[in-house]
């Protein structure tokens, strides 16, 4: 018998009742996407699948296990996604990738996002799953992530007007098979580089820590193997593609939440060109629960809360050092602003962008990694450093 506690019972009730309510009000697809979000939250938390911590450990210690698992994640994704995107249909439904222009705006935004990852203590997915898991500091990061996202919409058209290559996916010039082969070669080269760096700096490759649980208990309460988390994220993203017609994204919802809050306090975001674009204008007028990304984000938070309760780790604390609060504010603003002008975050641009074959996803990864290097150098001003924990997204 698993003791969920009050938080776990509340999270489970939110997932069940939320799915029922969405099914009755907005249809079964929206309910299914909410449940997929819940499964993503559970997977992220139980696997402690952090993009931020994996990059920081490689930068500071030369340990590349987390980065190699990210390459596994991307490899599985392109094998699944490219054939569907090249054909334009999946299970009889039209699908399209997250493919955006690759230019100076992406470079600048991803670089800001990279700094924000290290100061804010997480990426987009990391902010959601650690906040849902009870990390009170990440609520501060999330608040300013939303504010930064709104500010990014104010200047979005200026950044979008900077020089860039047209939206291009690898499967367009090379076909699905050629695009997959090229992508796998890139991922293999990156993985090989991490192996070389790790052996050179540490003498041997890091092994996965032993789990305190085995069998069913491990899958219910965690921690999961990192590779299992990667497989779960790919399959759930592919399910998102099938249900929503496009891959998983996170941060467009933050901009929408902020714009709606701006309306409440008397600011009119419809005067900004971003909210006059097709799709954005309609989203601003509609209910939040009609927005796919919002519904999935709510699911991620509830799923992470449930996972934290199952793991016996849901214990929020408001004792946050002032310097850490300041870092969360600065990091959140950089995360939000950077994600908006770079056409996405570590999920929408890096994971789903590269899964879509988009060149902007690769450019995003390079610029964001450079930003992480600067962000890591800035961290001692705000934190007492140690090995990354589950709290690092």
Tens digits of residue pLDDT in 96-151: 999 999 999 999 999 999 999 999 999 989 889 888 888 889 999 999 999 999 99
What is the structure's pLDDT at 390? 46
pLDDT at 76 over 60: yes
Q: How much of the chain exceeds pLDDT 90, in percent?
A: 82
Structure-token pair, residue 20:
């029922």
pLDDT at 225 over 70: yes
What is the structure's pLDDT at 304? 92
pLDDT at 270 over 70: yes
Q: Exposed, middle or buried, 347 (CB in 10 Å: 0-12/13-18/19+)?
A: buried
Find the range with the poorest average confidence among 1-15, 158-172, 327-341, 379-393.
379-393
CB 310 within 8 A of CB 2: yes
Nearest to 250 by CA among 384, 373, 357, 343: 343
């Amino acid at each position: 018998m698993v003791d969920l506690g009050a938080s776990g019972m509340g999270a489970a009730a939110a997932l069940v009742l939320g799915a029922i309510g969405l099914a009755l009000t907005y249809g079964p697809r929206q309910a299914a996407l909410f449940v997929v979000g819940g499964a993503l939250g559970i997977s992220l938390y139980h696997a402690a699948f952090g993009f931020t911590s994996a990059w920081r450990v490689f930068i500071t210690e030369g340990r590349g296990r987390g980065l190699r698992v990210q390459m596994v994640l991307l490899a599985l994704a392109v094998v699944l996604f490219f054939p569907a995107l090249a054909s334009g249909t999946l299970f009889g439904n039209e699908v399209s990738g997250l493919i955006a222009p690759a230019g100076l705006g992406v470079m600048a935004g991803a670089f800001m996002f990279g700094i924000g990852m290290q100061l804010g203590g997480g990426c987009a997915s990391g902010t959601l799953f650690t906040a849902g898991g009870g990390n009170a500091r990440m609520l501060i990061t999330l608040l300013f992530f939303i504010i930064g996202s709104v500010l990014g919409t104010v200047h979005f058209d200026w950044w979008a007007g900077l020089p860039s290559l047209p939206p291009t996916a690898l499967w367009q010039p090379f076909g699905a098979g050629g695009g997959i082969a090229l992508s796998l070669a890139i991922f293999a080269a990156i993985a090989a580089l991490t192996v070389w760096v790790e052996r050179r700096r540490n003498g041997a490759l890091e092994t996965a820590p032993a789990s305190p649980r085995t069998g069913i208990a491990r899958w219910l309460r965690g921690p999961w193997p990192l590779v299992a988390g990667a497989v779960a994220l790919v399959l759930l993203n592919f399910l998102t593609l099938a249900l929503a017609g496009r891959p998983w994204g996170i941060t467009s919802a933050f901009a929408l939440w902020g714009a709606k809050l701006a309306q409440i306090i008397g600011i009119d975001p419809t005067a900004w060109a971003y909210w006059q674009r097709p799709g954005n204008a309609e989203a601003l007028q509609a209910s939040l629960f009609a927005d796919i990304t919002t519904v999935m984000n709510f699911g991620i938070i509830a799923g992470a809360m449930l996972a934290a309760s199952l793991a016996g780790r849901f214990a929020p604390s408001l004792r946050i050092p002032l310097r850490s609060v300041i870092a969360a504010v600065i990091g959140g603003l950089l995360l939000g602003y950077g994600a908006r002008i770079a056409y996405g975050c570590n999920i929408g641009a890096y994971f789903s962008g590269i899964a879509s074959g988009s060149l902007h996803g690769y450019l995003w990864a390079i610029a964001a990694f450079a930003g992480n290097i600067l962000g890591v150098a800035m961290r001692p001003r705000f934190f007492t450093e140690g090995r990354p924990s589950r709290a690092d997204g």
